[in-house]
């Protein structure tokens, strides 16, 4: 699929302000997993400090951020696989998020299923997995929006389910034009949710997450069920929800 031609000047002329909260999900074990290895909270803090020292460094411009916000920008180590706005290899980081928790949950549900699609012999987990959804406050004068004219003229390329060359090329040009954030349609959320790709740490208006939710996501032969404790939210994804993606068309639901 050939890449669309959006020049540095063209993207720069489309830059506009963006403000709002964007959501990500992480496994809830991100803090408590080390606790069972130690006897005290002081030992846990020391262990996490030692583990932190073994990870790729955070770029200086991201050093003031909470680790939940800064982690996607660690790029001393090669990025193993390309994603929608980031090429594989030693490439600059991208913070992927969604404008609504539902969309972030849909994205997580899809990628959990993709893991099992690539491991057809793996049985379903016996219990629901717990996730923390957290919101970051974002504000920038340099964003582009792929959902409105003129950039939505290439919507087919921006929303391809499996090929990312066009969006990766766009991100390269956007960085050169000092674009901080890309707003785009989620291809995983059937309700038409919106995602954001943050290209620069300066887009974060606050250094720490500003809101959190606890979600439990269950995978089974009937689909994916997601429940939030507070506020009370329930989302279900049936077998057909993600079937348009060729990687899930022959998915083995009976495990």
If you write DSSP's letter for every residue of 132-189 in order, what string do you get? Answer: EEEEEEEEEEEEEETTSTTGGGGHHHHT-SS--HHHHHHHHHHHHTT--EEEEE-SS-
User: What is the structure's pLDDT at 220?
Assistant: 95
Instruction: Measure CA 136 to chain center.
Output: 12
Global pTM value? 0.90
Angle at 146 between CA 140 and CA 151, to 5 degrees: 115
- Which of the four pLDDT bands, split at 50, 70 and 90, describes residue 43? low
> In this predicted model, what pLDDT tens digit does every residue of 146-175 receive, in sequence order?
999 999 999 999 999 999 999 999 999 999
> Which residue reads 């020292």 in tokens?
53
When pLDDT is cut at 50, 70 and 90, the band that residue 3 belongs to is very low
């Amino acid at each position: 699929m050939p890449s669309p031609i959006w020049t540095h000047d063209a993207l720069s002329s489309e830059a506009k302000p963006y403000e709002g909260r964007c959501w990500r999900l992480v496994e809830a074990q991100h803090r408590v997993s080390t606790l069972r290895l130690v006897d005290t909270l002081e030992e846990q803090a020391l262990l996490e400090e030692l583990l932190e020292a073994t990870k790729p460094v955070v770029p200086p411009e991201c050093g003031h951020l909470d680790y939940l916000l800064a982690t996607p920008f660690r790029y001393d180590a090669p990025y193993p696989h390309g994603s929608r706005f980031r090429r594989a290899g030693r490439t600059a980081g991208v913070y992927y998020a969604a404008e609504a928790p539902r969309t972030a949950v849909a994205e997580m549900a899809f990628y959990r299923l993709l893991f099992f699609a690539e491991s057809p012999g793996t049985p379903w987990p016996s219990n629901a997995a717990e996730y923390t959804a957290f919101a970051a406050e974002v504000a920038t004068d340099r964003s582009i929006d792929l959902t409105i004219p003129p950039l939505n003229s290439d919507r087919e390329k921006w929303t391809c389910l499996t090929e990312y060359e066009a969006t990766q090329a766009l991100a390269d040009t956007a960085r050169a034009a000092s674009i901080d954030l890309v707003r785009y349609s989620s291809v995983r959320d059937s309700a038409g949710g919106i995602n954001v790709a943050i290209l620069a740490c300066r887009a974060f208006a606050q250094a720490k997450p500003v809101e959190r939710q606890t979600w439990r996501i269950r995978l089974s032969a009937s689909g994916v069920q997601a429940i939030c404790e507070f506020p009370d939210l329930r989302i279900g994804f049936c077998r057909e929800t993600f079937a348009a993606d060729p990687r899930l068309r022959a998915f083995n639901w009976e495990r």
